Structure 1
Amino acid sequence: MNAATLTWRALRHKPLASSLNLLLVAIGIAMMTFILGVSAQLEERAERDAQGIDLVVGAKGSPLQLILSSVYHADIPTGNIPASTLATLAAQPLVQSAIPLALGDNFHGFRIVGSTPALPAHYGARLAQGQFFTQPMQAVFGARAARETGATLGARFAGSHGLAAGGELHAHAPYTVTGILAPTGTVLDRLIVTPVASVWQVHETDPDEPAAAAPGRELTAVLVQYASPLATVSLPRWVNGQPRLQAAQPAFEAARLFNLLGVGIDVLRAIAAGVLLVAALSLFVALYGALEERKWDLAILRTLGASPAKLLRLLLAQGLLLSLTGAALGWLLGHAAVGLLGWHESLQDLDLQVWRIAPEEAWLPVIAAAVGLLAAGLPALRAYRTDIAATLARP
């Protein structure tokens, strides 16, 4: 009978204890897999959405709120800025490109963004159907926005006031769908892009909106790409010196946001590590108890020719088998949990991929193997030092 068969039969001898140890290891690895997978995908998504945007110019207020509303489209804007800001920024020699944004309405919860064709071009978008808008009140749908709203070429729709579904309908000014974009894997997939003039026209001609409340010739923000590294220092300072303007840097604000989230992620990692520690202790107790029960059997093996090294390997193999099997099960459970999170209605914007493997996951089998070897170490050492004569002499 070989070592693998002995190991398997030893674990089957106490199925309940073996199953509980397996479950503890699986839970710990599943938690780590889930945390690593979600955090890595969130960071990758944030980097993709902000790529190529060096500065966001908007109304004074919270810089983080400005980034969340204008880059990630996950918050309300800090206010509006004069439309002339776009021309002023575009004329700056330190600015390579300036993309305007005008927010205020939505269609079934998907934001209608007044901009130019430069916005889809910035994200490398291509048309799956139709063509880009050429005049006001035409709109191009991102892939997800089109899929979930059922938008088709030539269809007409009216936006609702506000950035969340349920606002007052602007029925007097319908849009026409001229194009549907192919998926980009960025925030653009859930946006509806139209000329800035469309947003102005909708609100200026709304009979139910008081003239004093209409935004007029204003923008929500301008996305800026630098022409020179020198702009990193001088341009934000110049913008912040203007009475109504504020400069926010996506890289800095995103790093600050993930630092805040990192505290919670570290806590979850600590909990997962605690579960693995409990699994190691439980595995140690189980193997040590099994060793005490099987001392006589191990002594018989020695008399039959099994070397001390073979007994050592036998106990270590039991620990490794349990921990690595638990790691495999935990890895599957962790990724399944990522998929369940991505299916939740309120989190579908995250576009989490079930089987996207984070680089840090390569360490999980090593961690699991270390847990198994450490737990089996002392019992294996005692088995190695088994005194045949003394053990068989006991009644």
Structure 2
Amino acid sequence: MIRLSLAYLKDRGLNTALNILLLALSVASLVILLLFSSQLENRFDKDSQGIDMVVGAKGSPLQLILSSVYHVDIPTGNVPLATVDLLRRQMGVAQAIPLALGDSFRSFRIVGTEPAYPALLGASLADGRMFERRMEAVIGADVATRTGAGLGQRFIGGHGMTGGEDGPKHEESPFIVVGRLQRTGTVIDRLILTKVESVWEVHGIEAPHAEDEAHASPAEVTAVLVRFGSPIAAVRLPGFVNRQTNLQAAVPAVEVSRLLALVGVGLDAVRAFAVLLMLTAGLSIFVALLTALKEREGDMAMLRVIGASRAAIIGQVASEGLILAASGAALGLALGHGVIALAAANIEQLRQLGLNALAFHPGEAAIVAAALIIGLIAALIPAFRVLKSDIADTLANAR
């Protein structure tokens, strides 16, 4: 019966190919949406672990989060170095980690910070040691892989965070790699970490020599990552920061939820279209099989005359629907993952967010199951219609 189904499908090859392609497009659309939304949400959660609040210059809170937590946007500005000390003195602050941004090397951002930052994201050294002095750098796993940089290698940062090789360079202040981090699957994989004083030095800014000099120093930081030490801090500190003249507080969980809500509206519309496309594919399979069975009523009647059971007839027709559905689902999975791979390879922002075509989501099994069910239902309806026909009348008409 399987061989007979394959022969029938081959006999109407163009119709078969179109049905498979229509179903594949719907499956691919759903797979792309599923992978994109799930990986984006997981990456946002992973990159912001342990960061309860970000303090930076006034502007867009979402821009502050994207630039300082996920490193995919331009910062809102700088804040005085005294901001770090101000936050550390507040009750309920467990950690306040400064970030100084502004330069990059081959599209990888150079981040002035403290050793507490990689520790916050669970990063550990693969080899070498953590930066201790000015102009020492520790590189993430992606940086090491794509640049080939090893311990002891020197490199020159460029002004700006777009990584343009033709832009101005800080040739008088080279960095030296003293450590490489283990891969974490977080944003830190694509960062170059150094002391905040290193960033000041390459820009000709003198670091304050004592804590009381920080208030009068021109030295600035881009943002401060804050981890709360008590629940009450989550209520009190954002309001306290926002009352300061030049500061704003942004909570990653809140801003990411807003972003995902905005993205989700568009994703829901595309998802609804993909489901409609899948139902259309099922209807197309139904019409194709119904038309084909009308043309093969004589064949079906002859099979019943020579002893084929009702179950065998139903199985033969159902197998056609399942073969179409399985082929469409398999092609759709391949297309979906292929599109994700192409997008990650050609769109820098998606690659930075860690979009991975090799990752599979459990929801893909549900999409495939839905495609198979649609194909089966589309086949069973015409199959039962054939069984209700009178064998004698069918054979007489066939003559």
Question: How many angstroms does 1:171 deviate by?
Answer: 2.0
- Which runs of no fewer than 5 residues in structure 1 stay unpaired? 207-214
**Superposition deviation, residue 205 in structure 1:** 5.2
Of 357-366 and 343-352, deviating more is 343-352
Residues 242-251 or 367-376, more deviating: 367-376
Aligned counterpart, 1:45 = 43
Please state whether the residue corresponding to 1:365 is helix, strand or coil: helix
Q: Measure how far apart 1:80 and its partner are.
A: 1.2
Contact 2:205–2:219 (CA under 8 A) maintained in structure 1: no
Aligned partner of 1:120 among 97, 118, 140: 118
Q: What amino acid sits opposite 1:29 in the alignment? A: V
Answer whether contact 2:72 2:352 (CA < 8 A) is retained: no
The answer to whether the 8 Å contact 2:102/2:160 transfers is yes
Q: 1:143 to 1:363 in 2, by over 3 A?
A: same
Show the counterpart of 1:6.
4
SS at match of 1:163: coil
Stretches (4+) displaced over 3 A: 307-310
- Give the distance between the partners of 2:99 and 2:297, measured in 1 at CA: 76
Asked if residue 318 in structure 1 is aligned to residue 320 in structure 2, the reply is yes
Alignment match, 1:366: 369
Which moved further from structure 2: 183-192 or 276-285? 276-285
Counting only pairs closer than 5 Å after superposition, residues 238-317 of structure 1 correspond to structure 2 as 238-317=240-319
Distance 1:355 1:202 in 2: 40
Partner of 1:211: none
Alpha-carbon distance, 1:342 to partner: 2.1
Counterpart in 1 of 2:86? Answer: 88
Partner of 2:330: 328
SS at match of 1:230: helix
TM-score, with normalisation over the residues of structure 2? 0.91
2:198 pairs with 1:198: yes
Unpaired runs of 5+ residues, structure 2, are 207-216
Supply the distance in 1 between the matched residues of 2:301 and 2:145 (Cα, whole angstroms): 69
Q: Is 1:357 matched up with 2:368?
A: no
CA distance in 2, matches of 1:329, 1:187: 33
The one-letter amino acid paired with 1:199 is: V
1:132-151 pair list within 5 angstroms: 132-151=130-149
Shift of 1:112: 1.0
Residue 41 to residue 192, structure 1, CA distance change in 2 (3 Å): same
Q: How many equivalent pairs are there?
A: 385
For the Cα contact (< 8 Å) 1:308–1:383, is it kept in 2?
no
Deviations 1:200-240 (CA, angstroms, capped at 9, x unpaired): 2222359xxxxxxxx92211111111112222211111111
Does structure 2 retain, via aligned residues, the 8 Å contact 1:200–1:216?
A: no
Measured in 1, the distance between the counterparts of 2:258 and 2:96 equals: 24
Secondary structure (helix, strand or coil) at the match of 1:242 reads coil
Task: State the 1:312 CA deviation.
Answer: 2.8
- Could you tell me whether the CA contact under 8 Å between 1:110 and 1:145 is conserved in 2? yes
Deviation at 1:15, TM superposition (A): 2.2
Task: State how 1:52-201 maps to structure 2 within 5 Å.
Answer: 52-166=50-164, 167-201=167-201
